[in-house]
Amino acid sequence: MAQKTYSDYSNDEMLQLTQGVISYLDGWQLSTEQMLAVLGLGDLVKSRHIQGFRMGERVFPESSELMIRIDHIIGIADALRTTFPFSDKMRLMWLRKPHRRFRKNTPLAVIMSDDSPNGLLKVRMEVDCAYGYAISEAMQDAAKKS
């Protein structure tokens, strides 16, 4: 499946996407500064703009890296909802509990540890088995071709 770009969405769809992503990050109980860091917007957006995103008054700035981050955030949120379908508390606990696969760091710490989308990718691969398998298979196929 090809990565969607900003131009694939209408302004109304971008407003909904923006609100939805902020809602996920609110559910993860992130501070405004943490949200900006996860989204990679620390240098592009002022913290006061988060409320405008939340209320559907502003859309995220156009950025291909931001679209990658959004894809991973949505993938993580969907996988957590599948894993813990009846408990928001368990989803939050999974994000905030040290994990052996992350060298006893929390998934949120892994997400926050990198200025690139790599932390989001690592966490998504761990929580979303199907995505992790697809990435692993694609890497194996690429290795065979070279």
Which pLDDT tens digit goes with each residue over 62-90? 999 999 999 999 999 999 999 999 999 99
pLDDT of residue 8: 86
Pairwise CA distance, residues 56 & 17, whole Å: 9
What confidence category does residue 131 fall into, taking pLDDT thresholds of 50, 70 and 90?
A: confident
Q: What rounded mean pLDDT belongs to the chain? A: 91
Domain count, the chain: 1
What confidence category does residue 132 fall into, taking pLDDT thresholds of 50, 70 and 90?
A: low
Model confidence at 2: pLDDT above 70: no
Per DSSP, what are the bridge partners of residue 105?
99
As given in the structure block, the two tokens for residue 67 are 């679209």
Pairwise CA distance, residues 9 & 81, whole Å: 25
2 in any annotated domain:
no
Pairwise CA distance, residues 23 & 37, whole Å: 16
pLDDT tens readout for residues 7-20: 888 999 999 999 99
38 in any annotated domain:
yes
Q: What angle do CA 117, 118, 120 make, to 5 degrees?
A: 70
**Containing structural domain, residue 99:** 7-145
55 in any annotated domain:
yes
104 in any annotated domain:
yes
**pTM for this entry:** 0.88
131 in any annotated domain:
yes
What confidence category does residue 115 fall into, taking pLDDT thresholds of 50, 70 and 90?
A: confident
pLDDT of residue 19: 97
CA dist 67 to 9, 33, 70, 137, 140, Å? Answer: 11, 19, 5, 23, 25
Model confidence at 135: pLDDT above 80: no
1 in any annotated domain:
no
Pairwise CA distance, residues 94 & 74, whole Å: 16
| Cα torsion through 14, 60, 129, 88, rounded to 10 | -90
